[in-house]
Amino acid sequence: MTALDLSSPVAVVGTGTMGQGIAQVALVAGHPVRLYDTLPGRAREAADAIGARLDRLVEKERLSDAERDAARARLLPAEDLPELADCALVVEAVLERLDVKQDLFRALEGIVADDCLLATNTSSLSVTAIGGALRNPGRFVGLHFFNPAPLLPLVEVVSGFATDVSSATRAYETARAWGKTPVACADTPGFIVNRIARPFYAEAFAVHEAQVADPATIDAVLRESGGFRMGAFELTDLIGQDVNESVTRSVWQSFFQDVRFTPSLAQRRLVESGRLGRKTGHGWYDHGEGAERPEPDTADKRQPPAYVVAEGDLGPASELLELIREAGIPVRDEGDDEEQGACLLLPSGGRLVLADGQTAGEYRDFVYFDLALDYRTAGRIALSASQDISPQVLAEAIGLFQALGKQVSVIGDVPGMIVARTVARIIDLAHDAVAKGVATEEDIDTAMRLGVNYPLGPFEWSRRLGRTWAYVLLDDLHRRDPSGRYAPSLALYRHAHASDSREGTS
């Protein structure tokens, strides 16, 4: 099954930001496009707005004058649904209400030809449920674009329970022909991106609610250590707290209130107070005119230790040893210490340990350091210590990372810290999704890189960190918080305990 022929008309129902964006994508690809909206005059206004954006593309030399003029000639507002009768594809981008979408597609089914592909751009509703209102749900599919549709490459092609393989394939190939990067996905709450991305927000909010770090510090650690483009607090202020919380709540409810997807009470209070982020001038941060952005907690300058002793294999943090030597600090290798595990022993007797899901207070003079995407390029490292840590131990730990050119943020004693627990949970949800037939490893990695700009896909991260890393960290966290939120999935358990012969896989 191939992509739609460019001579085939495409209709978009709903002329908000997303509807206009989808229409522009199809139009620039070369299709005749019909725009329809139930509100009189809205389709014409949307066509004018798209025309203005085409003018800007010409100014940026991304379209020629002739291409713009031809595209404008192919764009037609429709006053009534019957004007969409000859379309080969109809994509809806209307109100996120099941009854509204079902009524629309019932009406369309009586107008368009039997071979017309029907698609929804829903981000939160069940594709199966919407298509269930049709006499022929086999031709119904999800085409979930990301905003802004003309710029973001990812499209989730979602097959409902009754979607024909041929329909899903045609939608997939059409999206690819439009210059997008499609990924195939089963109909599951949140699809790929909105399902697997939940821990990025949830764990940041949980650390904040535990009163161990403020939003500015958590955001800085996620950016400067984790390699994420934005932190969870600044990103949800950009998205809109109401929008982000609504998606989280929808996924949680659709999974029958699974504790792994529990919404944040702190975020709920923001929504209730009307502090929705940039669009209202205040969210986690104050976005009012002249407001100053709070700075992350950053430790004052400390002296580095005279030397460190490497005990055991530091695993994902092994590259630190080379950085320490390059900074002129001697590294002594004492081999393995099975009782204490892998660590960097400081002259004061303190131990620097990579975040592992345990708390510093369980051990004497332990300082945990967080996971980094790349310890060489990371601009900031978070440290976690108990309240009764020796001042000398903490000072040496701070001084060591400062000697490596890093800013240091000291947070409270929280298991898994910030980046480590976030990445571990993302990896877990990704393995669970593959095991349940949601999508392939490759499509999940592609979706998370392109849909939410993650520096690595979950399986890329899993391969880098090692087969057992995420499982061990989450199992330790689960022992300290037995609510079920951190219980490793059966899929991750199987992956962690797979035979060594499969060590090359993720």
Active site amino acids: 123, 144, 156, 194
395 φ, ψ to 5°? -65, -40
Residue 435 has a CB neighbour count (10 Å cut-off) of 14
CA separation (Å) from 455 to 211, 438, 451, 471? 27, 22, 11, 21
Helix (H, G, I), strand (E, B) or coil at 184: strand
Region at 80 (left for phi over 0; alpha for psi -120 to 50; beta for the rest): beta
Rounded to an integer, what distance in angstroms lies between the CA atom of residue 458 and that of residue 43? 41
Contact 75, 35 (CB under 8 A): yes
H/E run at residue 142: strand 140-145
Provide the token pair at 302: 């400390």
Length of the chain: 506
- Alpha helix ranges (H) inside 436-496: 441-452, 458-465, 469-480, 490-496
Of 260, 244, 273, 291, give the one whose Cα is nearest residue 424.
Answer: 260
The three-class DSSP label of residue 191 is coil
- Neighbouring CB atoms inside 10 A of 70's CB total 13
In contact, 96 and 123? CB cutoff 8 Å = yes
Residue 34's identity, in one-letter code, is: R
3-state helix/strand/coil string of 151-205 = CCCEEEEEECCCCCHHHHHHHHHHHHHCCCEEEEEECCCCCCHHHHCHHHHHHHH
Contact 34, 83 (CB under 8 A): yes
